[in-house]
């Protein structure tokens, strides 16, 4: 005759004996199938759709809502049971510090927008830091890369606009003088036209 005696294993959620027929193992913890539920909405979970944090189970939407949107793993829903964290070794905390320092703010400011540049979004050209999104052609706003830019008088240009502005027309200051001269001629013509109309 078969024995249906329970095992010595206890459910993590309800602390009652778990029988082999009703046993579910997740994150090296044992649960009854009925006890494997989201802590927030109490819906039954499956191994394919659950998430856990510090031993507390969540369905994927509530896990995302709590941890992805806030970006903080210290916040929790009201009533979330607190499970003691295992002691960290010095090796683990040193690794955490080196990783967090990589993402921490720096004192470097982007030349384009004068905001803090983080290492993950930083482009450095000749020792000058830029955000990837600020590293653009001054003339046309084109996206440029460290291998396809030209710096001229402290401004960045894509190769196309640099050739268009400087190689065909010469020096940029000559271009400004030409534009300024054209504006003055246009203004003088307008004044002359107004004087002729006024005399008529």
| Pairing, β 122-125 against β 149-152 | unpaired
Residues 147 and 123: their CA atoms lie apart, in Å, by 11
| pLDDT digit string, tens, across residues 3-21 | 555 567 899 889 899 898 8
What DSSP designation does 119 have? Answer: G
Helical spans, DSSP H, in 37-136: 60-63, 90-103
What topology is assigned to 113-167 in CATH?
Answer: 2.10.110
Does this model's pTM top 0.75? My answer is no
Q: How many CA atoms lie within 13 A of 28 on its CB side?
A: 1
Separation CA 117–CA 107 (nearest Å):
8
pLDDT tens track for 87-99: 555 565 666 666 6
Cα gap 198→83, rounded to integer Å: 90
Q: Render the burial of 36-63: b for 16+ CB within 10 Å, e for the rest.
A: bbbbbeeeebeeeebbeeeebbbbeebb
User: Which residues touch 194 (CB under 8 Å, ≥6 apart)?
Assistant: none
**Which is more confident, 64 or 36?**
36
At 186, the pLDDT band (50, 70, 90 cuts) reads low
pLDDT band at 184 (very low <50, low <70, confident <90, very high): low
Contact by Cβ (8 Å): 22, 34: yes
DSSP class of residue 100?
H
Task: Give the burial string for 156-172 (b: 16+ CB within 10 Å, else e).
Answer: bbbeebbeebbeeeeeb
Average pLDDT over all residues of the chain? 73
| CB distance 135 to 147 below 8 Å | no
Rg for the chain, CA atoms, rounded? 33
Residue with tokens 């394919």: 48
């Amino acid at each position: 005759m078969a024995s249906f005696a329970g095992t010595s294993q206890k459910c993590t959620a309800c602390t009652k004996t778990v029988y082999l027929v009703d046993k579910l193992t997740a994150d090296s913890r044992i649960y009854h199938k009925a006890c494997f539920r989201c802590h927030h909405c109490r819906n039954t979970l499956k191994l394919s759709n659950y998430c856990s944090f510090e031993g507390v189970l969540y369905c994927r939407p509530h896990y995302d809502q709590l941890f992805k949107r806030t970006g903080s793993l210290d916040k929790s829903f009201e009533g979330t049971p607190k499970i003691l964290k295992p002691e960290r070794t010095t090796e683990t905390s040193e690794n955490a510090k080196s990783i967090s320092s990589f993402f921490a703010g720096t004192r470097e400011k982007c030349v384009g927008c004068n905001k803090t540049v983080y290492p993950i979004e930083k482009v450095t050209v000749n020792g000058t830091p830029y955000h990837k999104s600020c590293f653009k052609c001054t003339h046309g706003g084109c996206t440029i890369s460290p291998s396809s830019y030209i710096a001229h008088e402290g401004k960045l240009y894509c190769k196309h606009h640099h050739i268009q502005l400087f190689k065909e027309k010469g020096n940029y200051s000559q271009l400004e003088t030409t534009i300024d001269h054209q504006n003055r001629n246009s203004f003088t013509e307008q004044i002359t036209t107004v004087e002729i109309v006024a005399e008529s």
